[in-house]
Amino acid sequence: MKPYPFDLISTRPDVLQSKHMYGMWFGVALGLFFSIFAWGIDAYLLSKINSLYPWLKFLVGGIACMSVGGLTGWLSARWDKPLLSFLLWAVAALIFAWLTIALPIQITPTVLGLLQPEIQGLLHYTYYEGFSTIFGLAYVWIAIFVSLAGLLQIPLSDSAVFSTSILGKFKPMLVTLVLMAMCGTIVDGLNNELLRSPIDALNTTIQFSIDHRGQEVDRLESRRMHLSALRTIQDLITPERKLTVSGYDEFLVQIQVLVRFDNAWAECVVIYNQVSICNQVGNAVP
């Protein structure tokens, strides 16, 4: 039986190269979209609440995920086997899931120490056994969405390579955008939100203190805003400040938040997003 003309076209070297390149960009796009929703939105929200290097996780995670995604997409297109593509993307999902835990509690503090040497002795991050559960949950959700994208890669990419319309070329990317939006949003809720909320709570309390400095504050309002927690660092507080998580308990309930004011570092304990107590822990280097 003679091969169909389409089969002959599909095996031409230039067409195969186009498929391989499209597969790579498919993977890069998937990694980028995952990073945007897993860490990019978190970075944007952190930038609004005076976080220290808010875009760090997104930049590191984005580069890593786009690299892994690009390689996985290229290999899937090169081997052109749906089942093998599924397995390759399942491995990529494992790396993505590892990053969701490693970025905030292992990679970020290391990079922070390089960018801000004076902070090295103020960070006390620990990997608790309970974090394995979070890793497992992250992998399950990521594997579902990423592996589904992997199954769709070959049929979607084949049609996109031969498409003559812009929409046809970008349709597979739109599919991955939807899948990664759902996946990344779930990942954000697993750990980013738990570490972001205490920073937001402390930043709000500090801003309230600055806004009402020298004024008589109603006792109930003061209690609601937990102003008493700032008494020990009241003289250190300046409008210019940067906040970052410096420690946590096993259940991410009690979080230590480090604050850099103009002339000093202070650390505050935040329990269930309520500021408990603050103390100076060092002098800031100008």
Per-residue pLDDT of the chain (286 residues; tens, 9 = 90+): 444 444 434 555 556 677 788 889 899 999 999 999 999 999 999 999 999 999 999 999 999 999 999 999 999 988 888 888 888 999 999 999 999 989 988 898 889 888 888 888 899 888 888 888 888 888 999 999 998 888 888 777 777 666 666 776 777 788 899 999 999 998 888 889 999 999 999 999 999 999 999 888 899 999 999 999 999 999 999 999 999 999 999 888 999 999 999 999 999 999 999 999 999 998 877 6
Hunting for tokens 């937001």 — which residue is that? 200
CA–CA distance, 245 with 267 (Å, rounded to integer): 9
N- to C-terminal Cα separation, the chain: 79
Q: Which two tokens stand for residue 228?
A: 């008493």
- Contact status, residue 246 vs residue 258, Cβ threshold 8 Å: yes
Please give the DSSP secondary-structure letter assigned to residue 285: P
Task: Enumerate residues 6+ apart whose C-beta is below 8 A from 149.
Answer: 30, 89, 175, 176, 179, 180
Please tell me whether residue 256 adopts helix, strand or coil conformation.
Answer: strand
Among candidate residues 238, 205, 203, 236, the one with its CA nearest the CA of residue 222:
205
Question: Can you give the pLDDT at residue 11?
Answer: 56
Query: Bridge partners of 268?
Result: 257, 278
**Reported pTM:** 0.89
User: Whole-angstrom Cα distance, residue 69 to residue 89?
Assistant: 8
The two three-digit tokens of residue 117, written as one number? 């040497």
The C-alpha torsion from 62 through 65 and 68 to 73, rounded to 10°, is: -100
Amino acid at 251: F
Question: How far from the centroid of its chain's Cα atoms is residue 176's Cα?
Answer: 18
Instruction: Look at residue 235 in the predicted model and tell me its pLDDT.
Output: 92
**Core vs surface per residue 90-123: b (16+ CB within 10 A) or e:** bebbbbbbbbbbbbbbebbbeebeeebeebeebb
Instruction: Quote the CA–CA distance of 278 and 270 in Å, as a whole number.
Output: 9
What is the phi/psi pair of residue 53, to 5°? 50, 60
Count of beta carbons in the 10 Å neighbourhood of residue 80? 16
Burial readout 156-169 (b: 16 or more C-beta within 10 A, e: otherwise): bbbebbeeeeeeee
The confidence score (pLDDT) of residue 161 equals 66
* Integer angstrom CA distances of residue 83 from 143, 147, 173, 176: 14, 10, 20, 18
Helices (H) and strands (E) in the chain, counts: 10, 4
